[in-house]
Amino acid sequence: MKKVVLKKTAEKKIKQLNQWFYRNEIKKCPLDIQKGEIVQVFTSSGQFVGTGYFNPLSKISLRMLSFKKEKDISSLIKRRIEEAFHRRKKLLKNTTAFRAVHSEGDLLPGLIVDYYDGYLSVQVNTAGMENLRDTVIDTLIEQINPKGIYDRSDQKVRTIEGLETHNRLIYGEVPDSIVINENSIHFTVFLKEGQKTGFYLDQRKNRQIVSQYVEKGFRVLDLFSNAGGFGIYCYKRGADYVKFVDVSSSAVKQLKENCKLNSIENFDIVQEDAFDFLKKETQRYNIIIIDPPSFAKTKHEREGALRGFKYLLLKGLKLLEKDGYIAVFSCSFHITMEDIINVSLSAAQDTGDILEIVEFMYQDLDHPVVLNMPNTLYLKGILMRKL
């Protein structure tokens, strides 16, 4: 096993047991190292750190698998997958869909596995995990016994890693659509198309939180609605009307299916960019949900993202009835909860509104947050009431 030496500047992250080390934190590595190769890691003073995999093509050159000496990496991967799935089994009481493996959150960097009523959607996003693919797939089959496994790996991330991407069936059979049950609400999932691995499972708890504030007669605006989770939850809780807004044709297709599945009768679907929609919308609402895709994939995009959030909040507050609720979410690590609070306050000052924070919201438990790995806390949201 080849050796990689970290710079002295990486010592803080070593003590933190952070799983990522960037190219500029590497002091020494063999010139003939292959992408994704398993390596032993040492400090600049020669102290053993742990075992990881290395990719000279990636800005995140080293990803740690263990901070111990590991004799058998395949056994380690197998054990980690078993442990991750075991921790999720209790979720089956309330849902037939959950994230079974959450990358760094389950100490398996580069691997995401979602479970949908017996079918699996898999993302293998790094060269190191690609080299371990056979072990991963064999373990998933052995432990979960899925009906089928579909590869939905992230092409953009894999390109950075120097990998090709072929989204395809890799085991069993996977139908074009799967119906899942979440807290007695049904959703159609298209594993072979749509967003990421199929459905935004991380918002499960937040859909419940927001919808519990619905009162009879409420009108709901679900912006960036995707599959319609928030709006459908609100309708089933007693809302009279929901307007869904999403620019994606695949999202609209999913929305129509989901409204039919859940007997949603009084609704409209607008296929349009949410920013453009808000320029001309005049209807007023009792609940508005703002759940956009990641505006800030890097820290350099943070300021532009905050400007986008402020625009959405300004327009949303003008459409919100007195004593109405507005929920805003960010799925970017680079946007903090403090950022969301500050931009909400700035928007409220401009519109002359007083806002009460009702709930702080984060990703659900099957998307675990590891303190040692700050990037695992990515989803934040607040629910506010307009006084």
Q: Please determine, for residue 196, whether its predicted confidence score (pLDDT) is greater than 60.
A: no
**Three-class SS state of 195:** coil
Average pLDDT value for residue range 227-235: 97
Q: Residue 102 contacts by C-beta under 8 Å, 6 or more apart in sequence? A: 84, 112, 366, 367, 368, 376
What are the structural domain ranges in the chain?
2-66, 73-178, 200-386
Q: What is the sign of the dihedral through the CA atoms of 98, 229, 171 and 164? A: negative
Q: Please determine, for residue 195, whether its predicted confidence score (pLDDT) is greater than 60.
A: no
Q: Please determine, for residue 124, whether its predicted confidence score (pLDDT) is greater than 70.
A: yes
Residue 353 half-sphere exposure toward CB, CA atoms < 13 A: 27
- Report which secondary-structure segment, H or E, holds 4: strand 2-6
Q: Please determine, for residue 125, whether its predicted confidence score (pLDDT) is greater than 80.
A: yes
- The CATH architecture to which 73-178 belongs is 2-Layer Sandwich (3.30)
Q: Model's pTM, two decimal places? A: 0.94
> Between the ranges 141-150, 154-163, 197-206, where is the mean pLDDT highest?
141-150
Average pLDDT value for residue range 192-220: 89
Q: In CATH terms, is domain 2-66 a member of 3.30.70.20?
A: no
Which of 123, 139, 318, 327 shows the shortest CA–CA distance to 223? 327
- Residues 291-339: pLDDT tens digits? 998 887 788 899 999 999 999 999 999 999 999 999 999 999 999 999 9
Q: What is the pLDDT of residue 197?
A: 52
Which of 122, 129, 124, 178 shows the shortest CA–CA distance to 149? 122
Q: Please determine, for residue 179, whether its predicted confidence score (pLDDT) is greater than 70.
A: yes
Average pLDDT value for residue range 149-175: 93
Q: Which residue has the tokens 């790996």?
A: 153
Of the listed ranges 17-21, 166-170, 263-267, the one predicted with least confidence: 166-170
Q: Which residue has the tokens 């950022």?
A: 339
Establish whether 259 is a catalytic residue: no
Q: Residue 219 contacts by C-beta under 8 Å, 6 or more apart in sequence? A: 239, 240, 241, 242, 243, 283, 284, 285, 286, 287
Annotated catalytic residue, options 29, 234, 259, 331: 331
Specify the pairing of strand 185-189 against strand 219-223: unpaired
Topology (CATH level 3) of domain 200-386: Rossmann fold (3.40.50)
